[in-house]
Structure 1
Amino acid sequence: MSHLWLGLLSSVVVFVVCFSGAMYSFKTQISELLNYEVVFNQETKQTDWIQPDQIKTNFQQKSQNITNIIYPSDFSRNILVAYHDIEEEFDGHYYIHPSTGEIIGSSSRSTGAFFDLMKSIHKNLLLGKVGNHLVGISILIFVILLISGLVLWFPKNKKQWKQGFKIKWSAKWARVVYDLHNTLGFYTFLLLLFISITGLYVSYAWVKSAVVVSLGGQPVLNASNAEAMKGELSNVFASFLEESMDNQEEKKKEANVSLNTLLKDASQRLPYKGITTIQLPTEDNPLYQITKIKQEGIFSAVVPDHVKYGKDGKFKKLVLFSDQSIADQFMEVSLPLHTGEILGLSGIILYFIVTMIACSLPVTGILIWVKKL
């Protein structure tokens, strides 16, 4: 009975959150498809890559300071360059040819407004902080429903075992609806539970702390528990303080280094093929950072490795995803884990299907309740 009433209580919010999340899934793919002629290189013949120093010079001649350069893994795509226009005081981006540096264009056909709306609905139902709490409570209820639903599904005899794994399409509509609710819920149980928990992780500090601690990491600090954790986190704080002081020293320096040299050094430290991002120093982050997206290993998971340099080009730090603790790895990829992007397009498609099934569970659940009435 509690499964029924909790389901009725959260059904509308769960449906809306799952549906908006499913619609948001293909944001990148749809945007790239609409801007196909600028995102993808029409001349895929392999030649030499244009060097980042040349890109920087080309943009500086137009009073534009580059902030990021993203090199694709192969010549099928153009290079994405983000910049800040000094004269007009605005941020923009261009796609450029990977060998000539010719500006192809920008993503002019935007679906940003639609996907921003889907994202806001997914996070807070367009109700601000009140919506955040409504979504959070509803997802917590959904987690309870998943667990209680599994308990209710669990067969009590051999006949029920056979019925529990399939949908009897030839039966009356009420039986089909019942089978859809139970069978689809069972098959998607683990993935829906994982998506729900990672969604709560992204949204709530206390869930983040619980998950990180369970993986062997340190609790996430907030105003209410910071004092109690001072002793426990002394080493972490000391490391953070040292890094902060180092950053302050870096801010005083003038950026004077060859991007070509940094890219060459990073390629030697990360000797594999992948999407490479060169991030230039900003006011908040005074370091050069080169990130390489690795798509190797188990399930071809998309994971990042980082190399950091000072403004003088001095090597600072190599952060390999494989060397991090499980807790740090989880924090690094928590968002792509929630969206399925961690597994690339195949993961996004899988998550879309599972999320649409999640949309159906409140509907079939209500139909079962109405039939009983």
Structure 2
Amino acid sequence: MTTSHIKTALLQIHSIVGLAAALILSVMGVTGAIMSFEDEIQAGLNGALAHVVARDAAPLAPAELIARLQADPALGKVAALSLSRDPTSAVRVRFARSEDGGHPSSVLVDPYDGRVLGTPLGESFFATIRRLHRWLLLPGDGKGAGRQITGATVLGLIVLLISGLVLRWPRRASSAALWLKPQWRLSGRGLHRSLHSVIGTWLLPIYLVIALSGLSYSYVWYKDGLTWLLSTKPPAAPKPARGERDASPASQQPLALDLVWATALREAGDRYITLDLMLPAGGAAAVRVRSWLDETHDIRDEFRIDAGTGRLIAAERYADKSTGERVLARVFDIHRGSMLGWPGRILFMLAAATMPLFAVTGLLLYMSRRRLRRPPQPVRTVRLVPGE
């Protein structure tokens, strides 16, 4: 098979995959760009609401805080708390899903008296954007068809990147102008092709990083493969399904949150910025605790603490991880470019927002190729009858 035949076949694959994935990739790109600075946007929107006046008295312990909240049946069952070391920061409280499957909004609470300050602005908007980005708002969320569709679309993006690179490969591969300089003097199909190929070359490394990191959220086999490749520890046992009851005796014990909180503070020490407490659901025996060590990066220690006795069951400290395990722990930072700091986040945001450009130019190129391949219509001659 000659090179021209290979490129013809690749062009067909590139076109078919591109047409099938263009709309979904555009949606995922735009929503990903919107979420790039979600934390900063929400912090700006809720700066006044999330700020409290520091007092001489100590903040309420989590157990007392939850007891005051649960006195109001309208709030629902508390599922998680986010507590900051900053004495002027409100506590963020998240609630368990309601009986109809809905997810109540979180609330901000005064840590000194348990008074509900309000619902964070922008939370429902970003929650919808996140569901659209990950699952296309399809029923079932992560357990429905949306997760499989977005995962297959990301695989399609990898096919587009590889096939596009091969199709672009010029005879003079060392010419930087051919690779990186758009032909602005062209118009119509020539300009569309130049923008599609040159900007695609610029952004190819970023899209490849986004795709390869994003697949870990879509496929268990891919995530397990990364763990096998990068981690020195055996894969963790699968987590029990939501609502699945733990059969251990500890699961029958009442929640001793004071003991859990004391253990969490002892293990986190003075290194944490925020502590997240995920309360056990469905009779689970352990409280999961995340100790965030950095405000702008996904760096944290994680603990599992016995819900009934406050005994430390397991600890995963970021400082103890190998290089590969740190990569696994920071897949989200890699996915959004924050591993490179603010410049990386801005660059990845712009790359994601540019995704619709390839959908539009790719569609225009496909339509122009169809017109060029259309056989010319024969010229119809009209023979006149004598006398007409």
Q: TM-score, normalised by structure 1?
A: 0.72
Q: Provide the secondary structure at the position in 2 that maps to 1:188.
A: helix
Q: Provide the secondary structure at the position in 2 that maps to 1:290.
A: strand
Tell me if structure 1 keeps the 8 A contact 2:60–2:111.
Answer: no
Tell me if structure 1 keeps the 8 A contact 2:91–2:111.
Answer: yes
Tell me which residue corresponds to 1:211: 226
Is 2:300 aligned against 1:301? no
Is 2:252 aligned against 1:252? yes
Q: Provide the secondary structure at the position in 2 that maps to 1:291.
A: strand
Tell me if structure 2 keeps the 8 A contact 1:38–1:105.
Answer: no
**Partner Cα separation in structure 2 for residue 158 and residue 203 of structure 1:** 35
**Partner Cα separation in structure 1 for residue 152 and residue 86 of structure 2:** 44
Residue by residue over 1:219-244, the C-alpha shift from the partner in whole angstroms, topping out at 9 and shown as x without a partner, is 98xxxxxxxxxxxxxxx77xx9xxx9
Given the alignment, which residue of 5, 12, 23 partners 1:16? Answer: 23
Range moving further from structure 2, 130-139 or 273-282: 130-139
Q: RMSD of aligned C-alpha atoms? A: 4.4
Given the alignment, which residue of 310, 313, 317 partners 1:313? Answer: 310
Evaluate the alpha carbon distance shift between residue 165 and residue 278 of structure 1 in structure 2; reply closer, same or farther with a 3 A threshold.
same
Tell me if structure 2 keeps the 8 A contact 1:307–1:317.
Answer: yes
**Partner Cα separation in structure 2 for residue 261 and residue 309 of structure 1:** 10
1:141-290 alignment runs, 5 A limit: 141-157=156-172, 160-215=175-230, 248-258=248-258, 260-268=261-269, 271-290=270-289
Tell me which residue corresponds to 2:42: 32
Given the alignment, which residue of 132, 136, 144 partners 1:121? Answer: 136
Q: Provide the secondary structure at the position in 2 that maps to 1:104.
A: strand
**Partner Cα separation in structure 2 for residue 218 and residue 313 of structure 1:** 26
Tell me if structure 2 keeps the 8 A contact 1:70–1:275.
Answer: yes
Tell me if structure 1 keeps the 8 A contact 2:92–2:107.
Answer: yes
Deviation at residue 119 of structure 1 after TM alignment: 4.0
Residue by residue over 1:40-62, the C-alpha shift from the partner in whole angstroms, topping out at 9 and shown as x without a partner, is 32x57797762334423422444
Residue by residue over 1:70-94, the C-alpha shift from the partner in whole angstroms, topping out at 9 and shown as x without a partner, is 02464675320134699xx996632
Evaluate the alpha carbon distance shift between residue 251 and residue 132 of structure 1 in structure 2; reply closer, same or farther with a 3 A threshold.
closer
5+ residue gaps, structure 1, are 221-235
> What is the one-letter code of the residue matched to 2:278?
Q
**Partner Cα separation in structure 2 for residue 249 and residue 346 of structure 1:** 51
5+ residue gaps, structure 2, are 1-7, 373-388
Deviation at residue 319 of structure 1 after TM alignment: 0.9
Given the alignment, which residue of 61, 68, 73 partners 1:58? Answer: 68
Deviation at residue 69 of structure 1 after TM alignment: 1.2
Aligned residues: 343
Residue by residue over 1:253-284, the C-alpha shift from the partner in whole angstroms, topping out at 9 and shown as x without a partner, is 2323525523431332xx32422212233335
Given the alignment, which residue of 119, 124, 129 partners 1:106? Answer: 119
Tell me which residue corresponds to 2:93: 81
Tell me if structure 1 keeps the 8 A contact 2:305–2:314.
Answer: yes
Range moving further from structure 2, 169-178 or 180-189: 169-178
Tell me if structure 2 keeps the 8 A contact 1:70–1:276.
Answer: yes
Evaluate the alpha carbon distance shift between residue 45 and residue 23 of structure 1 in structure 2; reply closer, same or farther with a 3 A threshold.
farther
**Partner Cα separation in structure 1 for residue 292 and residue 323 of structure 2:** 18
Is 2:288 aligned against 1:292? no
Residue by residue over 1:114-146, the C-alpha shift from the partner in whole angstroms, topping out at 9 and shown as x without a partner, is 65445432889x9x9776665554443431221
Tell me if structure 2 keeps the 8 A contact 1:68–1:278.
Answer: yes
